[in-house]
Amino acid sequence: MYSGDLVYKGCLDAFYPSTDPLLFYQSVKRLMELEVSRVFPGHHDLEIPVSLIGEINADFSQLERNGQLKQGNGLYDFGDVKIHI
């Protein structure tokens, strides 16, 4: 899967005025339904495990549960991934 700006190690930027953090999360959730054998990200480390999709999904899920999935809420550090919303 070519993930472009959706899945990669580093800081996922969902803070731009043209980016809706909830739609970003919904896109990640859709990836969870696919059988992905390899991820080709658009940024940074090109050797990333497929399991990173699940980690990003869990990170977004946590933000949603905590009511933090709103644009302008800041930067959240989850280790391999940061989410900037």
Q: Which two tokens stand for residue 22?
A: 């909830």
Residue 46: what pLDDT? 82
Residue 3's H or E segment, with its range, is: strand 2-4
Residue 80: what pLDDT? 86
Taking the model in full, what pTM does it have? 0.91
Residue span of the structural domain in which 32 resides: 2-84
Taking the C-alpha atoms of residue 59 and residue 36, their distance in angstroms, rounded to an integer, is: 19
Residue 49: what pLDDT? 94
* Pairing state between β 2-4 and 40-41: parallel
Number of domains, the chain: 1
Residue 42's H or E segment, with its range, is: none
Residues of the chain with pLDDT under 70: none
